[in-house]
Chains A and B, each alone.
Chain A
Amino acid sequence: MMRLPAFTYLAPPTVAEAARAVVEHGGEAMLVAGGTDLYPNMKRRQFEPKVLIGLGAIRELRGVSGRAREGLRIGPTTTLTAVARHPEIARHYGALATAAGLVSSPQLRNMGTIGGNVCVDTRCNYYNQAYEWRKAIGFCMKKDGDICLVAPSSSRCWAVSSSDTAPVLWSLGARVRLVGATGERTMPVEALYRDDGIEYLAKRPDEVLADILLPPADGWTSAYLKLRRRGSFDFPVLGVAVALRIEGAVVRDAKIVLGAVASLPRSAPAAASALVGERLTPEVITRVADLAAGPAKPLDNTDYAHFYRKKMTRVFVARALRRLGGLDGEGRAEEEVA
């Protein structure tokens, strides 16, 4: 059996106490919410914290509040199932409900939280393997080794940001509030990410993600498309999040953010600004989709060939825009290609 390494478990009742507990235990402690990312990683000995600080008992971290008109607050320990089914989210922040509902499997969505999804570990074919497998190939720098097996001459790790909700939250203009042992700060969700497969989060270990804040939804529509091999279980190997504010038939504001193409979500600002002032005609869509594929530089370290994932970026951006423009309302939000 693949068992968890030994740890002690704390369940503080408040965010402040959770943050203090991380500091008290130095580098030995980690936060855990649903555990659906952390426990498999611990079983594979990618993390071996001596102390786990469970966030499940903290009431202030749970639930969704507010109205789309003023903006919503999502508590980070809200499960992905609850986010996907929340009527206000589904109606006004559609891409977020879609993305949450496409994470892994129904059981994992009942356990996994949106906060854990925002902070989910980066992935790589050479890393998401059992300890013995990694040992047999001599380990890599993300854990236990010192070189990168995908790019051996590289001094950094290229593991891939694989969160479904992160690109969507960025495209929707979400902000996050972090509470640490010595204070708190609120920032745009994209400021949470670093372009590094190992140190992929720009937050201190004691900082607890305490709020996910969505701006007023006024006039925005959104879509999320996910590429993966099977229709369930699989992480995205490409995620495309598009949010548009359309007045009349003219795009007034646009955001396009790509997931699973780099160690952090990548926005496509040139493509987004090429949409502003335009109608969603087939010609505009083709031009914007070409521009959007520019920032996608997938490496050969996830499922599917990287050139195929790059090519699919253009296809998926075009599909998302067609859907939002009402050019084809049909079809599924996810793509499975055998």
Chain B
Amino acid sequence: MKTRLSLTVNGETHEVLVPVHKTLLEVLREDLGLTGTKHGCELGECGTCTVLVEGEPVLSCLALPVEMEGRAITTVEGMAEGSTLHPLQQAFAELGAAQCGYCTPGILLTAQRLLEDNPVPTRTEIKEALAGNLCRCTGYTKILDAVELAALRMGRQPAAGR
């Protein structure tokens, strides 16, 4: 049985008609065409499906859209402003912090939230914040470097550091 739901994703409201047992991950990818959010384990064990709900990182593979009505959902597609990349995306690209790139959307969003709470995190704080995001290519050092670089740049340019 399908349910009509209204979801606010990246500031836009979408009406969808979906079975209530479809996860947010499935609805984002299959019904809204937002394939930036990746599906990995689908069991809460990898973090690649991370999206922000009201700014908090959550796992879309374990979230029901029916519980998300009226709440602001942000996916990786919502990070850039037009053609201007978010400083985190820019730093990841420059430093080669993405290898296959599969974990990248979840890591970018989790790091975005970290830098909002804590604009100058220590390396340990970055590791703790990203402890729920596995990188199967294991390029963690560059990922940590890229978050540090983005934090540095965002500190210098408050305008870019939403």
Contact A36 B62 (CB under 8 A): yes
Measured as residues with beta carbon below 8 angstroms from the partner, the interface class of chain A is 20 to 34
Asked if A4 is an interface residue, CB under 8 A from chain B, the answer is yes
Contact A6 B19 (CB under 8 A): yes
- The distance in angstroms between the C-alpha atoms of A5 and B42, with both chains bound, is 14
Q: Which chain A positions have C-beta within 8 A of B47?
A: 105, 107
Contact B20 A232 (CB under 8 A): no
**Which of A5, A7, A107 interacts with B57 by CB under 8 Å?**
A107
The smallest beta-carbon distance between A205 and chain B, in angstroms, is 20
Contact B64 A9 (CB under 8 A): yes
How many B residues, CB 8 Å from partner? Answer: 30
Contact A7 B20 (CB under 8 A): yes
The smallest beta-carbon distance between A123 and chain B, in angstroms, is 13
Q: Which chain B positions have C-beta within 8 A of A44?
A: 43
A22-53 contacts to B, CB under 8 A, are: 35-36, 39-40, 43-44
Of all chain B residues, the one with the shortest Cβ separation from A101 is: B128
Interface string of B20-31 (1 = CB under 8 A from A): 111100100000
* Known A1-B26, A39-B62, A54-B67; contact A104-B44, beta-carbon cutoff 8 A: yes
- The distance in angstroms between the C-alpha atoms of A315 and B49, with both chains bound, is 38
* Known A1-B39, A9-B66, A35-B64; contact A107-B21, beta-carbon cutoff 8 A: no
Q: Which chain B positions have C-beta within 8 A of A110?
A: 56-58
**Which of B42, B57, B63, B132 interacts with A233 by CB under 8 Å?**
B132
Contact A8 B110 (CB under 8 A): no
Of all chain A residues, the one with the shortest Cβ separation from B51 is: A107
Contact B44 A40 (CB under 8 A): yes
- The distance in angstroms between the C-alpha atoms of A265 and B40, with both chains bound, is 33
Asked if B100 is an interface residue, CB under 8 A from chain A, the answer is no
Contact A2 B57 (CB under 8 A): no
* Known A107-B58, A110-B57; contact A3-B67, beta-carbon cutoff 8 A: no
Q: Which chain B positions have C-beta within 8 A of A231?
A: 131
Asked if A106 is an interface residue, CB under 8 A from chain B, the answer is yes
Interface string of B65-83 (1 = CB under 8 A from A): 0110000000000000000
Q: Which chain B positions have C-beta within 8 A of A106?
A: 57, 110, 128-129, 131-132
Asked if B159 is an interface residue, CB under 8 A from chain A, the answer is no
* Known A2-B43, A232-B132; contact A111-B59, beta-carbon cutoff 8 A: yes
Q: Which chain A positions have C-beta within 8 A of B134?
A: 233
* Known A7-B21, A9-B66, A110-B56; contact A36-B44, beta-carbon cutoff 8 A: yes
Q: Which chain A positions have C-beta within 8 A of B3?
A: 9
The smallest beta-carbon distance between B74 and chain A, in angstroms, is 14
The smallest beta-carbon distance between B82 and chain A, in angstroms, is 28
Asked if A141 is an interface residue, CB under 8 A from chain B, the answer is no
- The distance in angstroms between the C-alpha atoms of A40 and B26, with both chains bound, is 15
Asked if B116 is an interface residue, CB under 8 A from chain A, the answer is no
- The distance in angstroms between the C-alpha atoms of A195 and B22, with both chains bound, is 35
- The distance in angstroms between the C-alpha atoms of A315 and B19, with both chains bound, is 50
Of all chain A residues, the one with the shortest Cβ separation from B50 is: A107
Contact B110 A5 (CB under 8 A): no
Q: Which chain B positions have C-beta within 8 A of A40?
A: 43-44, 62
Contact A2 B42 (CB under 8 A): yes
Contact B43 A232 (CB under 8 A): no
Asked if B94 is an interface residue, CB under 8 A from chain A, the answer is no
- The distance in angstroms between the C-alpha atoms of A104 and B43, with both chains bound, is 12
23 residue pairs of the A-B complex, CB under 8 angstroms, read: A1-B26, A2-B42, A2-B43, A4-B22, A5-B21, A6-B1, A8-B20, A9-B3, A9-B20, A9-B66, A36-B44, A43-B42, A54-B64, A106-B129, A107-B47, A108-B44, A108-B59, A108-B62, A108-B132, A110-B57, A111-B58, A232-B131, A232-B132
Q: Which residue numbers of A lie inside 8 Å of B, CB to CB?
A: 1-9, 11, 35-36, 39-40, 43-44, 54, 56, 81, 104-108, 110-111, 231-233
Q: Which 7 A-B pairs have the closest CB atoms?
A: A105-B132, A232-B131, A40-B43, A4-B21, A107-B132, A106-B132, A2-B42
Q: Which residue numbers of B lie inside 8 Å of A, CB to CB?
A: 1, 3, 19-23, 26, 39, 42-45, 47, 50, 56-59, 62-64, 66-67, 110, 128-129, 131-132, 134
